[in-house]
Structure 1
């Protein structure tokens, strides 16, 4: 019986352990790939959200500008109380000698006016007919400003994607350097143990042991700095993609030449997609041109229609009877500017200079695009070559370390030689990590300059809309 009970308890404990392990695995965050980090940034990044908010605001500006074509209807009303102070009566003497019958005398205050409360109210309709093209150009400016804001969203997305790539590969780089520091530390610990054994047997000096121990302290500090750098790197990536640093676990991605080559081949014609910066400058030029036309419209007349209906009490249309009376009105107004002492002309010259400046900015940006693309191509090509050479140097340093260690055991090399070989290996491995990260980052910069990242963001939004 006890045996059955023990078997049952053991089985229950086993099931509980399996369930707890499954729960721990389920709670562990899934490793994030570069693709996933990009998608999370496009969905949660605050800079993109702020740019989108500005774009939505500009859309409302367009809707507001369209209403300027429509009539305005206003209501105005008022109430007046003359106060307690009575108005001085006035009267007309109707007692005309020889006309007024005897015995019939009209008092002077017979038609005196007493103070009353006055109520007024009415509706007024105003319809612009011709405002010197001000409304037309204001609508053009609003549309251009809206399009500029939407292009700014595209630019922000491309910049965020570039930042995500840099932050992602920085985390990968620091993680590899932490592993490298641990490996270096392990090598020194093994070397220190071997020297301790040799020192115990009298085959080496205390000085040689101390050299390795000093190097161990240096590596310990380097490891701590690398671990702190890893925490900060994850915090930066988490801020960009909208997650906590503790939840970030990245794929142990290896930056291979094949992967970089495939992305490089996939780049489109650099002039097939217009850069958001250029599109924004085009919209800025359109805004300055519309602003110039608005200034020129100050030389033209303004024509508007006005109509309305007003009520008053006392009724002025029926001898100030104490009831409500009203009347309608309609008219056309014209405002023609005549003399402003050259103010409008000066404003036109100022607007022309703003147009010229916008044109020059657009031309300069277009000329710099080709230069920037070529520079980024050179940087990426150099990074690929550097990646190839550092990989070779790492392999040579590993072989040198192996030979030096074997020679040390045979007494052909000193402790100084092995320490130098280990330091050379650590330096070569670190340079290899930096070179691979540099190759990935320069490719992201090249993708941004050629417009590939704009297409990536657009394709992402299309996928989201189809879901």
Structure 2
């Protein structure tokens, strides 16, 4: 309840126009709470749970009530003629109105294992749907992770471009002073002004990228497109993957919800085969009927008044010849089981490929981060030396511009590499079956 209240307060703050900064944890909390896909999955889970109740109810006594009224055509009363009697003796008066109330109770005793098999199948299917629901939550969490970190990356790139603009502004001021003192040429100033304009174009593109990333982030957590949301996170750390691929794959094959779900579906398929084969067996049931009729046909002679009677017994139904219906249903159930078993093999192969791909991607992104860090160090040192030389008139404006561009590119590449590594690690966590929310 406390978590839900916190979520509502955060959402209300964002919707009211306040510029609210969200952490990754808060984003996941809001996004999973608002997710339409998860709501669909929850509805499917609820449906599978009540299916168990539906099947189980058929194993319990069934009580039914019926009522009828019948108006009969007028006929002569039933009478007999006896010797030495001047008039016939009426045995039964004509009763034109018939009323009947009936309560019927029926309890299945044996259904050829149909009901027990159907209930077991429903229970297995419900467990499968529950695992699919957990999988959907993890899938939604991954989408939120991606939107969050892409938004974070766009903000960082914009910040780098704006810092570069401030640095260029200072260089322009210094260069104008140099020009007034005759230390540089007009062409040197023009080159810096052109570079400043080019960087302003980059800022426009970076701002647009931020807005696009913000809108994608808003939609991923269920907020209106133009909500004034911000994200905040510590800079991702470049930690290497220390677990071997074989261990990751073994974990995935044991933990992935898709595999567990299909295992339950296979069990449900086996139970469905047993249920369809019940058509080859008889059905035995206990029944009881209570009648409240006017007239009651069991009480002779018939009287125009309500009387009650009852009956109990055991019944048996056996479809001796169904022209192959049971065989056809059994074959269908067997083929559905084959489909589930084949899908089980396919999903294991797909998971193996997915884990391997995510594992290699994570290793690759880690190497990119290391290379990018070295590039930033080299670019910073190159910029420092070039800037000192430029201030001493030992380097041209072209040299300074090249150093500025190289530094900005190196810093941007490092930001991209760090975020891509974070996303790669998150995706690897998900692919081995770990929760990422």
- TM-score normalised to the size of structure 2? 0.83
1:252-304 deviation line (CA, Å, top 9, x unaligned): 411223xx35x867999533552111111111212222222222222222222
**2:358 counterpart (365, 376, 397):** 376
Moved more, 202-211 or 61-70: 202-211
Distance in structure 1 (CA, Å) of the matches to 2:221 and 2:246: 27
**Greater radius of gyration (CA):** 1
Distance in structure 1 (CA, Å) of the matches to 2:80 and 2:288: 42
**1:302 counterpart (283, 296, 314):** 283
Distance 1:430 1:291, change over 3 A: same
Superposed displacement of residue 249, structure 1: 4.1
Superposed displacement of residue 48, structure 1: 3.2
Q: Which residue of 2 aligns with 1:328?
A: 310
Superposed displacement of residue 32, structure 1: 4.0
Distance in structure 2 (CA, Å) of the matches to 1:230 and 1:422: 23
**1:80 counterpart (53, 67, 70):** 70
Which has the larger strand fraction?
2
**RMSD in angstroms over aligned alpha carbons?**
3.3
Distance in structure 1 (CA, Å) of the matches to 2:275 and 2:92: 57
Kindly indicate whether the alpha-carbon contact (under 8 Å) linking 1:58 and 1:149 is maintained by their aligned counterparts in 2: yes
Q: Which residue of 2 aligns with 1:168?
A: 148
Superposed displacement of residue 105, structure 1: 4.8
Distance in structure 1 (CA, Å) of the matches to 2:29 and 2:218: 13
Q: Which residue of 2 aligns with 1:222?
A: 202
Q: Which residue of 2 aligns with 1:55?
A: 45
Kindly indicate whether the alpha-carbon contact (under 8 Å) linking 1:73 and 1:126 is maintained by their aligned counterparts in 2: yes
Superposed displacement of residue 35, structure 1: 3.9
Q: Which residue of 1 aligns with 2:294?
A: 313
Paired residues for 1:114-153 under 5 Å: 116-153=96-133
Distance in structure 2 (CA, Å) of the matches to 1:349 and 1:116: 54
Distance 1:129 1:415, change over 3 A: same
Kindly indicate whether the alpha-carbon contact (under 8 Å) linking 1:164 and 1:240 is maintained by their aligned counterparts in 2: yes
Q: Which residue of 2 aligns with 1:358?
A: 340
Specify every segment of 5 or more residues in structure 2 that has no aligned partner in the other structure, as ranges. Answer: 1-16
Distance in structure 2 (CA, Å) of the matches to 1:301 and 1:112: 43
3-state SS in 1 of match to 2:231: coil
Distance in structure 1 (CA, Å) of the matches to 2:98 and 2:422: 81
Distance in structure 1 (CA, Å) of the matches to 2:227 and 2:77: 92
**2:24 counterpart (29, 34, 38):** 34
Distance in structure 2 (CA, Å) of the matches to 1:157 and 1:221: 40
Distance 1:349 1:93, change over 3 A: closer
**1:451 counterpart (423, 429, 433):** 433
Paired residues for 1:422-461 under 5 Å: 422-453=404-435
Q: Which residue of 1 aligns with 2:269?
A: 288
Distance in structure 1 (CA, Å) of the matches to 2:222 and 2:151: 16
Q: Which residue of 1 aligns with 2:386?
A: 404
Q: Which residue of 2 aligns with 1:69?
A: 59
Distance in structure 1 (CA, Å) of the matches to 2:400 and 2:176: 15
Distance in structure 1 (CA, Å) of the matches to 2:244 and 2:39: 29
Superposed displacement of residue 66, structure 1: 1.7
Specify every segment of 5 or more residues in structure 1 that has no aligned partner in the other structure, as ranges. Answer: 1-26, 458-467
3-state SS in 2 of match to 1:125: strand
3-state SS in 2 of match to 1:372: helix
Distance in structure 2 (CA, Å) of the matches to 1:343 and 1:91: 50
Superposed displacement of residue 451, structure 1: 2.5
Distance in structure 2 (CA, Å) of the matches to 1:354 and 1:279: 18
Superposed displacement of residue 352, structure 1: 1.9
Which has the larger helix fraction?
1
1:87-137 deviation line (CA, Å, top 9, x unaligned): 35467673x7xx446xx4559xx7896563221111011111211111011
Q: Which residue of 2 aligns with 1:22?
A: none
Distance in structure 1 (CA, Å) of the matches to 2:363 and 2:346: 26
Kindly indicate whether the alpha-carbon contact (under 8 Å) linking 1:269 and 1:450 is maintained by their aligned counterparts in 2: no
1:220-246 deviation line (CA, Å, top 9, x unaligned): 233233223323433443444456775
Superposed displacement of residue 215, structure 1: 3.6
Superposed displacement of residue 142, structure 1: 0.9
Q: Which residue of 2 aligns with 1:12?
A: none
Moved more, 230-239 or 307-316: 230-239
Distance 1:91 1:296, change over 3 A: closer
3-state SS in 2 of match to 1:69: coil
1:23-65 deviation line (CA, Å, top 9, x unaligned): xxxx988854434444454555443344233323322222222
- TM-score normalised to the size of structure 1? 0.78
